[in-house]
């Protein structure tokens, strides 16, 4: 062998290695290069700016907005996000330029989740608008008002259940709130009583329907908590965040490997799909039976969607996904909000005092009065402020995702088609310009007759998102949360358990959740 071929061989290896290095660097840095005209922190290879999120938690977005201005770049792995942290610019993205921002941009583990991909949250363009128009009727005020008695009976049932935990014992309020709203949503979405808050049912009971419901909810909890965005999810979802195109191949391989989180997620997704399909098929059969017997129509989500002209648009798989999405979206966020209200109120005696006075005044001389949807809207002004301030203080969805469908200018920055633009309601909620002393819990700041409320930008407080793509369950949740608070505070007050950590710790997934629950002590207000 002569020297020349050997040198050529080494040379070829070097050239190939350099070419591969160049291609990898180009692949990783291309998104940064395209967005370099937008200010922001320098991304590291592969992880982008995720290390900042790990260090500071979501406060990082307030820190970056202060440093770089209201429009800045943040790299989630390779993916560039353009963050918008200004109320007027949020209005532009969410409302004024909605035509260019109809769709949500979502990390691959969420967008490709078989359980979510046919729901309203992930669907895009004309299919989304057709689906949204179809289900919007269920959120009309008259339909919501008709749900009050059901909500009421479940809330009373759960409240009785809390009462059973006496003697200064701790309750994990957040778990209880998830059970409560899952029950409410089970009824509202499927017309089924999951019975999670039924005092007369043994939660671990062995009736087969009870067991099935428990299993369903266990899987449901798995879906809610496994969609994490902070690099602590399954291996494929971590890889998917760093290099989105690798998510699917990794998932395909890992779901075959015993013991992996991907395998468990795959099992749960399949099983949930199977159960949802069965529930939809049952509901369709029952509906036909109702029609043939001329019985009164049912008003749960499934029956309404099945009964509408929607059948051509919504095949059973879409209907199943929509109904399931209701349970998923409809239990976790309202439960988070209710738990934060109770947590914050029990820390602020002056707020608790005013709230109790308002609740008691409503029932004065009418002990068995049931608040109507109208009452909830108009007769509890302070409660309204308490709920808003709690949502501002601890926001369950501090980021709202959009994607540009053409070239568009936001705040003086021209963004190419396909840019991921994320609004930051969590940053707006802590901005002293709109919320003086943002670290103080002060419900009165939302008093509509007060100066602070009048001065505030109309889109500075957007915990349910903004524009045509705003949360569809917005009014539904406010109604159930208010109803729950009224019933709870008629009977109890709450105090922090000594075993609860302070300050509260959170985990960041599709929505924010508590790391260790919200542990409270329940005190009966009127001991017989
Ligand atoms: C406190 C409770 C809740 C909060 C804070 C909340 C928050 C949000 C947010 C921030 C969005 C994104 C909006 C946007 O992109 O502009 C959203 C979307 C959505 N929410 Fe909620 N949500 C809550 C309760 C509910 C409930 C009870 C349901 C179901 C009944 C629900 C169903 C949905 C759906 C289906 C979407 C997607 C809407 C679409 O893309 O058209 N949410 N929610």
Q: Do you know the residue count of the chain?
A: 528
Ligand 1 pocket, 397 CB below 6 A? yes
For the annotated binding site for heme, the residues are: 471
Structure tokens at 41: 């922190």
Question: Probe ligand 1: pick from 93, 335, 471, max atoms within 8 Å of CB?
Answer: 471
Ligand 1 pocket, 466 CB below 6 A? yes
Q: Could you give the CA distance from residue 427 to residue 74 in angstroms, rounded to a whole number?
A: 14
CA 211, 217, 221: angle at the middle one, nearest 5?
Answer: 145
Structure tokens at 199: 């005092």
Ligand 1 pocket, 337 CB below 6 A? yes
- Centroid of ligand 1 to alpha carbon of 25 (angstroms): 38
Q: Which residue has the tokens 């819990």?
A: 441
Ligand 1 pocket, 102 CB below 6 A? no
ipTM greater than 0.95, yes or no?
A: yes
Rg (CA), the chain: 25
Question: Probe ligand 1: pick from 95, 325, 473, max atoms within 8 Å of CB?
Answer: 473
Ligand 1 pocket, 138 CB below 6 A? no
Cα→Cα distances 385→23, 447, 449, 465, Å:
54, 6, 12, 18
- Centroid of ligand 1 to alpha carbon of 511 (angstroms): 10
Residue nearest atom 6 of ligand 1, based on CA coordinates: 464
Q: Could you give the CA distance from residue 276 to residue 274 in angstroms, rounded to a whole number?
A: 5
- Centroid of ligand 1 to alpha carbon of 391 (angstroms): 14
Structure tokens at 85: 């942290």
Ligand 1 pocket, 469 CB below 6 A? yes
Q: Which residue has the tokens 């009309």?
A: 140
Query: Taking the domains of the chain in order of start, what are their residue ranges?
Result: 35-524
Please choose, from the candidates 227, 248, 391, 247, the residue with its C-alpha nearest in 3D space to the C-alpha of residue 325: 227
Please choose, from the candidates 89, 9, 80, 69, the residue with its C-alpha nearest in 3D space to the C-alpha of residue 42: 80
Cβ neighbours of 167 (radius 10 Å): 6
- Centroid of ligand 1 to alpha carbon of 472 (angstroms): 6
- Centroid of ligand 1 to alpha carbon of 148 (angstroms): 19
Please choose, from the candidates 37, 162, 8, 244, the residue with its C-alpha nearest in 3D space to the C-alpha of residue 520: 162
- Centroid of ligand 1 to alpha carbon of 426 (angstroms): 15
Ligand 1 pocket, 327 CB below 6 A? no
For the CA of 481, the closest atom of ligand 1 is 1
- Centroid of ligand 1 to alpha carbon of 300 (angstroms): 18
- Centroid of ligand 1 to alpha carbon of 72 (angstroms): 25
Ligand 1 pocket, 334 CB below 6 A? yes
Structure tokens at 473: 């369950």
Q: Could you give the CA distance from residue 226 to residue 220 in angstroms, rounded to a whole number?
A: 10
Structural contact between residues 109 and 236, judged by C-beta atoms closer than 8 angstroms: yes
Structure tokens at 57: 């938690």
Ligand 1 pocket, 470 CB below 6 A? yes
Q: What is this structure's pTM?
A: 0.89
Ligand 1 pocket, 330 CB below 6 A? yes
Under the phi-then-psi rule, with left for phi > 0, alpha for psi from -120 to 50, and beta for the rest, what region is 191? left
Q: What is the helix (H) or strand (E) element at residue 520, kind and residue range?
A: strand 519-524
Strands (E) in 365-446, as ranges, are 400-403, 408-410, 413-415, 420-423
For the CA of 402, the closest atom of ligand 1 is 15
* Residues paired with 524 in a beta bridge: 492
Please choose, from the candidates 416, 516, 411, 399, the residue with its C-alpha nearest in 3D space to the C-alpha of residue 465: 399
Provide the pLDDT for residue 201.
Answer: 46
Ligand 1 pocket, 332 CB below 6 A? no
CA 517, 520, 525: angle at the middle one, nearest 5?
Answer: 150
Low-confidence ranges of the chain (pLDDT < 50): 200-206, 309
Structure tokens at 95: 């409302």
- Centroid of ligand 1 to alpha carbon of 334 (angstroms): 10
Please choose, from the candidates 430, 431, 436, 429, the residue with its C-alpha nearest in 3D space to the C-alpha of residue 451: 436
Q: Does domain 35-524 have CATH number 1.10.8.60?
A: no
φ/ψ of 58, rounded to 5, equals: -70, -10
For the CA of 466, the closest atom of ligand 1 is 16
């Amino acid at each position: 062998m002569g020297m020349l071929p050997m040198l050529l061989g080494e040379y070829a290896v070097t050239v190939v290695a350099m070419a591969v290095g160049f291609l990898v660097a180009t692949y990783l840095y291309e998104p940064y290069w395209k967005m370099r005209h937008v200010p922001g922190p320098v991304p590291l290879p592969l992880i982008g700016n995720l290390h900042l999120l790990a260090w500071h938690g979501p406060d990082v977005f307030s820190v970056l907005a202060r440093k770089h201005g209201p429009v800045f770049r943040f790299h989630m792995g390779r993916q560039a996000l353009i963050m918008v942290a200004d109320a007027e610019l949020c209005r532009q993205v969410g409302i004024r330029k909605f035509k260019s921002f109809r769709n949500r941009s979502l990390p691959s583990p969420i967008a490709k989740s078989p359980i979510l991909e046919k729901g309203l949250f992930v669907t895009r363009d004309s299919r989304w608008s057709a689906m949204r128009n179809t289900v919007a009727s269920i959120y009309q005020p008259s339909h919501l008002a008709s749900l009050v008695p059901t909500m009421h009976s479940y809330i009373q049932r759960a409240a009785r259940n809390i009462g059973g935990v006496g003697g200064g014992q701790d309750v994990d309020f957040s778990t209880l709130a998830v059970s409560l709203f899952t029950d409410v949503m089970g009824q509202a979405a499927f017309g089924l009583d999951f019975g999670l808050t039924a005092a007369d049912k043994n939660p671990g009971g062995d009736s087969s329907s009870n067991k099935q419901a428990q299993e369903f909810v266990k899987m449901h909890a798995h879906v809610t908590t496994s969609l994490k965005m902070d690099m602590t999810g399954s291996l494929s979802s971590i890889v998917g965040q760093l290099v989105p195109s690798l998510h699917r191949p990794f998932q395909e391989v890992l779901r075959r490997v015993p013991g992996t989180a991907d395998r468990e997620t795959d099992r749960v997704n399949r099983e949930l799909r199977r159960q949802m399909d069965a529930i939809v098929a049952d509901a369709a059969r029952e509906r036909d039976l109702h029609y043939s017997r001329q019985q009164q129509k049912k008003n749960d989500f499934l029956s309404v969607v099945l009964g509408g002209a929607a059948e051509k648009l919504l095949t059973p798989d879409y209907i199943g996904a929509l109904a399931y999405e209701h349970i998923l979206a409809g239990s976790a966020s309202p439960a988070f909000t209710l738990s934060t209200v109770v947590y914050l109120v029990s820390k602020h005696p002056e707020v608790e005092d005013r709230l109790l006075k308002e609740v008691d005044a409503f029932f004065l001389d009418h002990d068995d009065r049931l608040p109507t949807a109208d009452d909830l809207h108009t007769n509890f002004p302070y409660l309204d402020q308490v709920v808003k301030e709690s949502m501002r203080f601890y926001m369950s969805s501090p980021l709202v995702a959009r994607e540009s469908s053409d070239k568009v200018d936001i705040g003086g920055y021209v963004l190419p088609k396909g840019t991921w633009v994320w609004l930051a309601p969590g940053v707006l909620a802590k901005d002293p310009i709109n919320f003086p002393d943002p670290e103080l819990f002060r419900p009165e700041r939302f008093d509509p007759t007060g100066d602070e409320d009048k001065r505030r930008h109309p889109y500075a407080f957007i915990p349910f998102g903004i524009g045509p793509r705003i949360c569809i369950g917005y009014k539904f949740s406010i109604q159930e949360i208010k109803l729950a608070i009224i019933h709870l505070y008629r009977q109890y007050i709450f105090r922090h358990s000594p075993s609860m950590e302070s300050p509260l710790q959170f985990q960041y997934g599709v929505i924010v959740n508590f790391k260790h629950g919200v542990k409270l002590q329940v005190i009966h207000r009127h001991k017989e």
